[in-house]
């Protein structure tokens, strides 16, 4: 039973019941409406006989009803198993069938979008709770017709102490489900607040500066953002998708002190006609989930006068592992450009040789491992290649599983892509390893073009700016990269598109 989290949520819901809790498409939903919906969700689950420690499915859609479902499960201390509605009905049905949950809480439209959704739940014995967002900005909560009882087992095993499962982004394979337990949640939230806020340690009160939430709830960052908003008692400005004009309008209207954008969104803002004064309230912009091109960072900071503070984390870890503070940005912004910051106070990092698994010498690039009581007393091995400099700043060099082995020479797409993006007409780029009988693999550049590209000129440019073995053997121009919900390049989908899957 996640009593500490449940108690925190109950306290937040009671702070100012008639104030706005969630703004979506210009309309506000109150804390009272969320609380009432949350209580009704628990009433239905209790009446169904759902065991207190049984994982409950949550259809993780960015909508007020989606927030209400999350709050209902969090408030009652029930383990939350996110399901993915934003990709396709097929994916949602596959999630339902694979997870075999005793009950699922979902948005009304997600239950009615296709008979296949109800059929999938019925086939595995999942009862269904529906939350409908009314025009009056409250909710109707009821059982889904045909799913009024829990069907026969087997269902997923109970998960005492689990708060939520986090989903990896799926950029390198099928998303992983990582359980997050109650003893790890509060320390992670407290640590994040201490690194991001001047109000850490203050008495609980409703914050005036809202959280502008863009990341899909199916992503680890979206789930952590929801947890942080309720932990901090912060209203939410909710987006179902990123739109530059809407985002800029929200910054102008609500004047938050900080905001978060993934790198692709930062580039979209730069490509817009957004004005410097529109972002004047921001003291900092946070960026995570993917590598940010240093040239993009400098361009944004110069144009808008807002420092970008990069955070580093992974789906396996609740809360950031490393990041920049404003103080570090003031002192080291120019000399440590490209770093993801320094480890959080409770994190210990080391670099190991990926082949020998022995600790690498200081300053060497190798596989990143970390240790923290927040996660585990043991060393945890990531799949990221990194180095740590003499001042403790961490530089990520790419993922080990993305590395292209060209006759024994390792090529990291994340190191080459920023250089390719500097060439005229290249909107985005990466490299993929193609099979080669002599060398094992050869690097092929995959380019998303903004306009016609002089490929021979690009080849000459890369020969001047890369090591000989890093220069692509071929170039393929595509209209657009397949992307995940957080706008990262979906590498499995790209390989399938190229016939390499």
Q: Reduced to 3 states, what is the DSSP secondary structure of residue 108? A: helix
pLDDT at 199 > cutoff 70: no
pLDDT in tens, 138-154: 899 999 999 999 999 99
* 345 and 478 belong to one structural domain: no
CB 180 within 8 A of CB 213: no
Taking residues 275-289, what's their average pLDDT?
93
Residue 318: pLDDT band (50, 70, 90) is low
* 66 and 119 belong to one structural domain: yes
Rounded Cα distance, 166 and 9, in Å: 19
* 390 and 422 belong to one structural domain: no
* 358 and 260 belong to one structural domain: yes
pLDDT at 429 > cutoff 90: yes
CATH of the domain at 293: 3.40.50.12780
Asked whether residue 346 is domain-assigned, the answer is yes
Q: Which residue has the higher pLDDT, 23 or 316?
A: 23
pLDDT value at residue 55: 97
Take residue 338 and report the two structure tokens written for it.
């490209």
Residue 203: pLDDT band (50, 70, 90) is confident
Share of the chain above pLDDT 90, in %: 65
Rounded Cα distance, 223 and 168, in Å: 11
Radius of gyration over every alpha carbon of the chain, rounded to an integer in angstroms:
23
Asked whether residue 76 is domain-assigned, the answer is yes
pLDDT value at residue 181: 86
CATH of the domain at 132: 3.40.50.980
Residue 489: pLDDT band (50, 70, 90) is confident
Counting Cβ atoms within 10 Å, is residue 76 exposed (0-12), middle (13-18) or buried (19+)? buried
Taking residues 424-453, what's their average pLDDT?
92
Taking residues 248-271, what's their average pLDDT?
92
* 181 and 300 belong to one structural domain: no
CB 393 within 8 A of CB 386: no
Count of other CB atoms within 10 angstroms of residue 174: 8
Rounded Cα distance, 410 and 168, in Å: 25
* Domain-ending residue, one of 400, 415, 433: 400
pLDDT in tens, 367-408: 999 988 777 788 988 888 899 999 999 999 888 888 898 988
pLDDT value at residue 87: 79
From 316-325, 395-404, 458-467, the region with the lowest mean pLDDT: 316-325
pLDDT at 53 > cutoff 60: yes
* 164 and 271 belong to one structural domain: no
Asked whether residue 221 is domain-assigned, the answer is yes
Asked whether residue 205 is domain-assigned, the answer is no
* 87 and 150 belong to one structural domain: yes
pLDDT in tens, 324-357: 999 999 999 999 999 999 998 888 999 999 888 8
Asked whether residue 201 is domain-assigned, the answer is no
Taking residues 26-41, what's their average pLDDT?
96
Task: Give the contacts of 280 (CB within 8 A, at least 6 positions apart).
Answer: none
CB 478 within 8 A of CB 446: yes
* 370 and 491 belong to one structural domain: no
DSSP letters of 366-394?
EEEEEEETTTEEEEEEEEEEEEE-TTS-E
pLDDT value at residue 373: 78
- Identify each DSSP E strand in 95-171 by its residue range: 103-107, 127-133, 139-143, 162-167
From 93-97, 280-284, 314-318, 402-406, the region with the lowest mean pLDDT: 314-318
Rounded Cα distance, 80 and 68, in Å: 13
pLDDT at 254 > cutoff 80: yes
* Domain-ending residue, one of 196, 222, 254: 196
From 46-50, 238-242, 433-437, 482-486, the region with the lowest mean pLDDT: 482-486
Taking residues 191-211, what's their average pLDDT?
73
* 322 and 458 belong to one structural domain: no
Residue identified by tokens 């900080």 is 258
What sign does the dihedral 173-268-88-146 (CA atoms) show? positive
Rounded Cα distance, 177 and 132, in Å: 27
Count up the domains in the chain and report the number: 3
Range of the domain at 306: 211-400
pLDDT value at residue 277: 96
Asked whether residue 206 is domain-assigned, the answer is no
pLDDT at 229 > cutoff 80: yes
What sign does the dihedral 445-446-449-453 (CA atoms) show? positive
Asked whether residue 344 is domain-assigned, the answer is yes
* Domain-ending residue, one of 346, 369, 400: 400
Rounded Cα distance, 60 and 49, in Å: 23
Residue 56: pLDDT band (50, 70, 90) is very high
Asked whether residue 202 is domain-assigned, the answer is no
- Kindly state the DSSP code that residue 441 receives in the 8-state scheme: E
Q: What is the pTM of this model?
A: 0.80
CATH of the domain at 442: 3.30.300.30
pLDDT value at residue 1: 39
Taking residues 198-210, what's their average pLDDT?
76
pLDDT value at residue 362: 84
DSSP letters of 317-350?
SSS-SEE--HHHHHHHTTTTTT---EE-TT-EEE
* 144 and 288 belong to one structural domain: no
pLDDT value at residue 484: 80
pLDDT value at residue 221: 80
* 412 and 395 belong to one structural domain: no
* 186 and 325 belong to one structural domain: no
Rounded Cα distance, 134 and 125, in Å: 28
CB 366 within 8 A of CB 386: yes
């Amino acid at each position: 039973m996640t009593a500490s989290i449940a108690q925190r949520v109950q306290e937040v819901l009671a702070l100012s019941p008639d104030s706005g809790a969630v703004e979506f498409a210009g309309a506000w939903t109150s804390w009272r409406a969320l609380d009432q919906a949350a209580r009704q969700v628990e009433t239905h689950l209790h009446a169904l006989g759902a065991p207190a420690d049984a994982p409950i499915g949550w259809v993780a859609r960015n909508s007020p009803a989606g927030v209400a479902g999350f709050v209902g499960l969090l408030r009652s201390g029930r383990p939350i198993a996110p399901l993915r509605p934003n990709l396709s009905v097929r994916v949602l049905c596959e999630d339902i069938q694979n997870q075999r949950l005793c009950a699922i809480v979902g948005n009304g439209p997600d239950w009615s979008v296709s008979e296949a959704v109800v059929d999938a739940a019925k086939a595995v014995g999942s009862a269904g709770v529906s939350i409908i967002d009314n025009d009056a900005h409250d909710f109707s909560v009821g059982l889904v017709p045909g799913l009024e009882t829990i069907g026969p087992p087997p269902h997923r095993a109970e998960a005492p102490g689990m708060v939520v499962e986090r989903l990896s982004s799926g950029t390198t394979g099928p998303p992983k489900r990582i359980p997050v337990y109650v003893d790890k949640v509060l320390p992670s939230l407290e640590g994040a607040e201490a690194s991001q806020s001047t109000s850490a340690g203050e008495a609980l009160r409703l914050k005036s500066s809202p959280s502008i939430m863009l990341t899909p709830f199916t992503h680890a960052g979206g789930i952590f953002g929801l947890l942080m908003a309720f932990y901090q008692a912060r209203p939410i400005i909710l987006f179902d998708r990123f739109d530059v004009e809407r985002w800029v309008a929200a910054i102008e209207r609500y004047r938050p002190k900080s905001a978060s954008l993934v790198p692709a969104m930062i580039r979209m803002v730069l490509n817009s006609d957004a004005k410097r004064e529109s972002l004047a309230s921001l003291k900092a912009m946070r960026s995570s989930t993917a590598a940010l091109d240093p040239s993009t960072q400098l361009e944004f900071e110069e144009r808008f006068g807002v420092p970008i503070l990069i955070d580093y984390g992974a789906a396996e870890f609740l809360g950031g592992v490393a990041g920049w503070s404003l103080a570090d940005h003031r002192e080291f912004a120019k000399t440590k450009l490209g770093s993801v910051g320094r480890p959080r106070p409770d994190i210990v990092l080391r670099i190991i040789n990926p082949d020998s698994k022995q600790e690498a010498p200081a300053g060497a690039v190798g596989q990143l491992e970390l240790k923290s009581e927040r996660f585990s007393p043991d060393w945890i091995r990531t799949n990221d290649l990194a180095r740590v400099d003499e001042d403790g700043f961490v530089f990520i060099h790419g993922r080990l599983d993305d590395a292209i082995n060209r006759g024994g020479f390792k090529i990291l797409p994340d190191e080459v892509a920023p250089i390719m993006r500097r060439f005229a007409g290249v909107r985005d780029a990466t490299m993929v390893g193609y099979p080669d009988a002599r060398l094992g693999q050869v690097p092929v550049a995959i380019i998303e073009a903004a306009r016609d590209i002089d490929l021979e000129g690009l080849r000459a440019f890369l020969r001047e700016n890369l090591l000989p073995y890093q220069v692509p053997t071929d170039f393929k121009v595509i209209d657009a990269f397949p992307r995940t919900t957080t706008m990262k390049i979906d590498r499995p989908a790209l390989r399938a598109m190229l016939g390499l899957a």
